[in-house]
Structure 1
Amino acid sequence: MASRWKILPRIVAQSGPKHSASVIWLHGSGDTGPGVLEWINMVWKEEFQFPHIKLIYPTADPIPYTPNACQPSTVWFDRQQISPMVPEILSSVDASAAKLNDLVQNEVDSGIPLSRIIIGGFSMGGGMAFHMAYRYQREVAGCFALSSFLNNESVVYKKLRNVEDRSALPPLLQCHGTRDELVLFDWGKTTFKTLTDLGVCGEFHEFNIFHEFNKKELQILQRWILDKLPPD
C-alpha cells in the first residue's frame, strides 16, 4: 500500500541482525517523530532500542489546530480545547488513523503480524494510540499511553461497549505524572478506569512529575514491551 505521509517516519532499527516485531511511537502535539526520539534518548542516556524490535516514530501532518489559534501544527487531530469535557473532532482523528493504518499495513506486508506490533505514544500521541488500538487495529499486541487521556464521551468507549469478546482486546500500559498541569492526572486515571471497566486489561503507573516522562517510566515501558513482544 502506498504511503500517504508527507514526512517519512524516523526509524530506529533493531540492534540485532533481524527484527521480528515493531513498535509505533506517536509524538505529542506540536512535536515530531525525530523530536520525541531525541527526547527519549536524552532521558534514557543512550539510544532506546531492542535487539529484535524496530521502532517507528512517524510525524503527524501539519493541520490547523484550534487551541493554537487555528495555526498549522503537527498534531494527530484537532480539538476544541485540551479538556475531556468537549466533543471529539472525529474527522481529523479518522484522517490520521487512515495514514497510520497504512503504516501498520506496511509492517504487515513486510512480514510482521499484527500480534507483533505495539502502538503507543506520549500526550496526544497516546490519545491517538487509544483510537488505533481500540477502534482500528484490535489485533495488535498492545497499546501504551504516557500522560494521555480520552474525552469523556469518546467514540472509543462507545465502540468498546459493542465488542463481544473483550478478552481479546490489546493490553494497555498507562503512565501519568501526578503534577501534570497540562493533561491533568485525574483525566488519565479516569480514562484508564473507563477502559478497564469496558474490558481492557491494563496497568497504571503514577510518577511525581509534570507533563513529561522520566527514566523509571521508560524502564517500565521497556519491560512491558519485551513482555508483549519477546524474541521470536
Structure 2
Amino acid sequence: MRPRRRPVTRPKQRTAQAKKSQQTGDDGDGVVNLDDPEAVAAAYEEYRKALISQQLYPGGAPIVVEATRRKHSATLIFLHGIFNAVEEWKRLLTVTRARPGHIRIVILQAPKITARWYMGPKDPSWFKVKDYGKGKTPVEDEASLKEAATLMHGVIGEESARVPLSRIVLAGFGQGAALALYAGLSYTNTLAGILALSGWLPFADKIGSWCSAESHGTPILQCHGGKDDVIPPDKGKLSYDALIANCPGSANHLELRIYPDVGHHLSLFELHDIRQWLEKRIPVALPHTRTRKATHTRASRP
C-alpha cells in the first residue's frame, strides 16, 4: 500500500483590505498607527490626493483613456458640451481613432450648477450662460466663467506632473470649447494647442484684458459645422477674427475650418483633421538615441 500523502497547507492569500492596511498602517477600523512614520505619511498622501481630486473635479472623477501602443508622451484634456454623454465622447475619441496611440485622454465631467437659461434647476454646465442655443448669442456669467477657468488651470498643472506643458492640448465641444478657449488663452504658459469644436470665444470684445501674453504662441484649431443651428458658424468666424485682431503674433498659429454639411456634431472629416492636427502639434516623442563612438582605423603601412 502506498503511504498517504500529507496534505499541504497553503498560506492564505491576503485580501485587498489587508494589503491596504499594511501599506497605510490602518488596522481595519480606520485608525492609523501614529507611531509608524511611514503609515502616517501614506495616510496623509492618500488624503491629499482625495482632497485634490475633490477640488479639481467637482463634477466627478474624470474618465481617463490611457495611451495605447506607444508610451504615454502627450495628454488631451477634453471638456464636453451641455448634456453631452461623457461615455459617448470616450467612444467617439477612441473607437474612431481620432487620437494617436501615444496620447492620454482625460475627459472631465461638468458639475451640476443652477442655470436659468435651460431646463431643470441644476444641469451639467461648466459655467452659467443665458440665451444659449438655436442661433442665439450666448451671454456668459463672468464670475462663474473665471471660476471654471481657474479650475482648468489646476487640472493642467496636475497633468503637467506627467508630461510637459508643451505636450498638453486643451480641447472642448460647444460650451466646453468656449471654456477651453478662455482657460487656454488666460493661462500664463504656452500649451501644445487648443482645440475648439463648435464653440465660441467668450468676452471676445474684452480679449485684450484677459488674454495672457504667453498664450499668443499657443496653436488653435477651430472646427465648426456649416449647418450648426445651436451655435451658428458665424460665431466661430467672429471668434477667429477677434483672435486675429487682438492677439499679436498669433495669426500664424490660428486655423478655422468650416464643414458645409455638418450640424452641431462632429463628422468623420473633422475627426480625420483632428487626428492630423494632433499628430502635428504633439507628435510621437522619439526616444533619445545614443551617439556612437567614433571608430579609428589604423593607417595601412606603405
Query: Partner of 1:120 in structure 2?
Result: 171
2:106 maps to 1:56? yes
How has the CA–CA distance of structure 1 residues 136 and 147 changed in structure 2, closer, same or farther, with 3 Å as cutoff? same
How far off its partner does 1:35 sit? 3.4
Aligned with 1:191 (options 224, 239, 247): 239
Report the 3-state secondary structure (helix = DSSP H, G, I; strand = E; otherwise coil) of the residue aligned with 1:126: helix
Report the 3-state secondary structure (helix = DSSP H, G, I; strand = E; otherwise coil) of the residue aligned with 2:104: strand
How far off its partner does 1:133 sit? 1.0
Report the 3-state secondary structure (helix = DSSP H, G, I; strand = E; otherwise coil) of the residue aligned with 2:110: coil
Query: Partner of 1:19 in structure 2?
Result: 72
Q: Distance between the aligned counterparts of 1:92 and 1:148, measured in 2?
A: 18
Report the 3-state secondary structure (helix = DSSP H, G, I; strand = E; otherwise coil) of the residue aligned with 2:209: helix
2:126 maps to 1:73? no
Contact 2:82–2:174, Cα closer than 8 Å, also in 1: yes
How far off its partner does 1:101 sit? 2.0
Q: Which has the higher contact order (CA 8 A, sep 6+)?
A: 1
Q: Distance between the aligned counterparts of 1:13 and 1:154, measured in 2?
A: 38
Report the 3-state secondary structure (helix = DSSP H, G, I; strand = E; otherwise coil) of the residue aligned with 1:68: coil
Amino acid aligned to 1:80: K
Aligned with 1:143 (options 194, 218, 221): 194
Contact 1:157–1:195, Cα closer than 8 Å, also in 2: no
Instruction: Give the number of the structure whose alpha-carbon radius of gyration is greater.
Output: 2
Q: Which runs of 5+ in 2 are unaligned?
A: 1-48, 286-302
How far off its partner does 1:198 sit? 2.3
Aligned with 1:94 (options 146, 169, 179): 146
Amino acid aligned to 2:234: D
Normalised to the residue count of structure 2, the TM-score between the two structures is 0.68
Aligned with 2:87 (options 20, 34, 40): 34
Contact 1:78–1:93, Cα closer than 8 Å, also in 2: yes
Normalised to the residue count of structure 1, the TM-score between the two structures is 0.87
Q: Which runs of 5+ in 1 are unaligned?
A: none
Q: Distance between the aligned counterparts of 2:107 and 2:126, measured in 1?
A: 13
Q: Which moved more, 1:50-59 or 1:31-40?
A: 31-40
Q: Distance between the aligned counterparts of 2:142 and 2:203, measured in 1?
A: 14
Report the 3-state secondary structure (helix = DSSP H, G, I; strand = E; otherwise coil) of the residue aligned with 1:133: helix
Q: Distance between the aligned counterparts of 1:194 and 1:22, measured in 2?
A: 28
How far off its partner does 1:38 sit? 3.1
Contact 2:126–2:179, Cα closer than 8 Å, also in 1: yes
How far off its partner does 1:116 sit? 0.7
How has the CA–CA distance of structure 1 residues 156 and 37 changed in structure 2, closer, same or farther, with 3 Å as cutoff? farther
Contact 1:10–1:56, Cα closer than 8 Å, also in 2: yes
Query: Partner of 1:182 in structure 2?
Result: 230
How far off its partner does 1:157 sit? 4.5
How far off its partner does 1:153 sit? 4.5
Report the 3-state secondary structure (helix = DSSP H, G, I; strand = E; otherwise coil) of the residue aligned with 1:35: helix
Aligned with 1:10 (options 54, 63, 72): 63
How large is the Cα RMSD of the aligned pairs?
2.2
Report the 3-state secondary structure (helix = DSSP H, G, I; strand = E; otherwise coil) of the residue aligned with 2:77: strand
